[in-house]
């Protein structure tokens, strides 16, 4: 960053709250037409709580880590 004189700028969602309706409409359309997709890594059973947590922190999960109990 220093050598290339890079700039880091944060993004605060609340700064764009007035456009929430537009964003929701556009995101819904993109999900419906398949432009946006997501993956969920689902572990099942309360006994797998430690396993799911370790997968989350080790990076071996993909997408959103969920635990179904």
Residue 19 lies in a domain: yes
Whether residue 64 lies inside any domain: the answer is yes
The number of folded domains in the chain is: 1
Question: pTM of the entire structure?
Answer: 0.50
pLDDT at residue 59, as a whole number: 87
pLDDT at position 26 is 96
Residue 26 inside a domain? The answer is yes
Cα dist from 31 to 18, 27, 34, 60, whole Å:
22, 6, 5, 25
Q: Is the pLDDT of residue 31 over 80?
A: yes
> Angle CA(19)–CA(13)–CA(26) in degrees, nearest 5?
40
Residue 1 has pLDDT above 80, yes or no: no
Q: Does residue 3 form part of some domain?
A: no
Q: Is residue 2 part of a domain?
A: no
């Amino acid at each position: 960053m220093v050598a290339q004189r890079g700039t880091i700028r944060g993004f605060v969602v609340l700064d764009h709250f007035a456009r929430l309706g537009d964003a929701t409409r556009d995101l819904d359309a993109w999900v419906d037409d398949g432009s946006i997709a997501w993956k969920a890594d689902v572990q099942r059973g309360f006994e797998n709580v430690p396993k799911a947590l370790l997968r989350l922190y080790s990076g071996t999960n993909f997408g959103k880590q969920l635990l179904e109990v």
